[in-house]
Amino acid sequence: MASGAELTGRRVVLVVTGGIAAYKSAELTRLLVKQGAEVQVVMTEGAKAFITPLTFQALSGKPVRDSLLDPAAEMGMGHIELARWGEVILVAPATADVIAKVSAGLADDLFSTIALARRCPLVLAPAMNQAMWSNPVTQANVSRLQKLDSQIHIWGPDDGDQACGDIGPGRMLEPQVICDQMVAFLAEDKPLHGKRVVITAGPTRERIDPVRFISNDSSGKMGYALAQAFVNCGAEVVLVSGPVNINTPAGVELHGVESAAEMLESATQAVAEGCDIFVATAAVADYRPASAAEQKVKKSADAMTIELVKNPDILSEVAALEHPPFCVGFAAETQKVVEYAQQKLSRKKLKMVIANDVSRSDIGFNSDHNAVTIVTHDKVEPVPKLNKQDLAEDLVKHIIADYEKTL
Ligand code: C5P
């Protein structure tokens, strides 16, 4: 049995549908909340015939969501946001009707819309009369869902006495069993739960005067995609970002900066507050003007010279700390990609360098795709061309595997 607050901060959308087992969902809510989970209850119209929303509101501490067309609720967290907010959507009880709906891909109420819009796992805890469960249509719906989507899980049902007097399979699992399974499930799904990741991203701007700056070519897309992938693995993510045009991924703490000096300050501060993995994707300007003019520089001379001084190397400074996090750097090169990456790995005292060939126009800067080579002290591993989000997920898996070896 789960003992402590093992679901602290985990976000569960609990969908209660219209079956007699709905009364057990109140106890399930209490158990999940006791484990520290944030529970957002969604009720179908059918569920409200068995139990009141007020019960769930009192137990979860949040107003129940029950309508797709409630402007007040949509003003807060819209249904798509709600689907993304959840780390898991748990449907308990899941009636035969609800399973059929999900299997058919209908989206005509709040629950079915969330089920279709979600990116997270969907857990169904069936509860119905044994004949309904054994009916080939229900069985076909269940197998179709399992075949179609590896993120859909069916927990139960139990065998035994039923509310209608029948005996057989169809009882919803006991709330304590579902809660314990949820603790184990979320622990497995989130290998970085309890870990903190700091990522630098985007370009920096080094001021010449109030209207001019020196900068680098960088969209920030790779860093933002990595931030999302780390959040998906359960990490707490701080993203220290130069100016970019990308929305901040849900669940990421953004620290917006402009210059390399600001990025260094913000990143070292975030690392000092606790950091297990540090990933530097930022295209930091190597040099900055020795001094920035306070007023706009007027053009008069035919030529002008700006004295540049070297910027601090943020990644090297973090890697040189007494107790450094697991440090990962990026290397954008136009030639000798692997060789330069290996040199960077040693010079900056890193655990991994992700190298990309920026001489190729189909990948890299400002592109939605990238192809990279992972370079560590014991391997050189090419990763084929992928879109940046898929690549980020792949890279995060490699980073976690190597990071876990250092524990
Ligand atoms: O030395 P180079 O700029 O090629 O190294 C690239 C790696 O170092 C990237 O991970 C980049 O984010 C990081 N870097 C940094 N601070 C700098 C320059 C680069 O963190 N001033």
Is 42 found in the same domain as 155? yes
| 298 within a domain of the structure (yes/no) | no
Give the type of residue at 315. L
Identify whether the C-beta of residue 392 lies closer than 8 Å to the C-beta of residue 220.
no
Task: Sort 111 into a burial class: Cβ within 10 Å, 0-12 / 13-18 / 19+.
Answer: buried
The candidate with the shortest Cα–Cα distance to 280, out of 406, 152, 190, 399, is 399
Is 203 found in the same domain as 176? no
List, in order, residues 6 or more apart from 150 with CB less than 8 Å away.
none
Q: Is the CB of 353 under 6 A from ligand 1?
A: no
Is 200 found in the same domain as 181? no
Is 124 found in the same domain as 22? yes
The candidate with the shortest Cα–Cα distance to 357, out of 340, 377, 378, is 340
Is 264 found in the same domain as 322? yes
Q: Is the CB of 240 under 6 A from ligand 1?
A: no
pLDDT of residue 1: 52
Is 383 found in the same domain as 323? yes
Is 207 found in the same domain as 153? no
Quote the domain boundaries for residue 270. Answer: 196-292+303-405
Looking at the 3D structure of the chain, how many domains does it have?
A: 2
Domain harbouring 327, CATH code: 3.40.50.10300
Is 208 found in the same domain as 177? no
User: Per residue of the chain (407 residues), what is the pLDDT tens digit?
Assistant: 545 688 988 899 999 999 999 999 999 999 999 999 999 999 999 999 999 999 999 999 999 999 988 888 787 788 888 988 898 999 999 999 999 999 999 999 999 999 999 988 999 999 999 999 999 999 999 999 999 998 899 999 999 888 888 888 999 999 999 999 999 998 877 889 889 999 999 999 999 999 999 999 889 999 999 999 999 898 999 999 999 999 998 789 999 999 999 999 999 999 999 999 999 999 999 999 999 999 999 988 899 999 999 999 999 999 999 999 999 999 988 899 999 999 999 999 999 999 988 877 776 566 778 889 999 999 999 998 888 888 998 999 999 999 999 99
Give the C-alpha separation, 271 to 251, whole Å: 18
| 5 within a domain of the structure (yes/no) | no
| 104 within a domain of the structure (yes/no) | yes
Q: Is the CB of 206 under 6 A from ligand 1?
A: no
Q: If you measure from the C-alpha of residue 199 to the centroid of ligand 1, how many angstroms do you get, rounded to a whole number?
A: 12
| Among protein residues, the one whose CA lies closest to atom 4 of ligand 1 | 331
Is 113 found in the same domain as 224? no
Which among 185, 211, 231 is the end of a domain?
Answer: 185
Domain harbouring 72, CATH code: 3.40.50.1950
Which among 166, 185, 204 is the end of a domain?
Answer: 185
Q: If you measure from the C-alpha of residue 368 to the centroid of ligand 1, how many angstroms do you get, rounded to a whole number?
A: 21
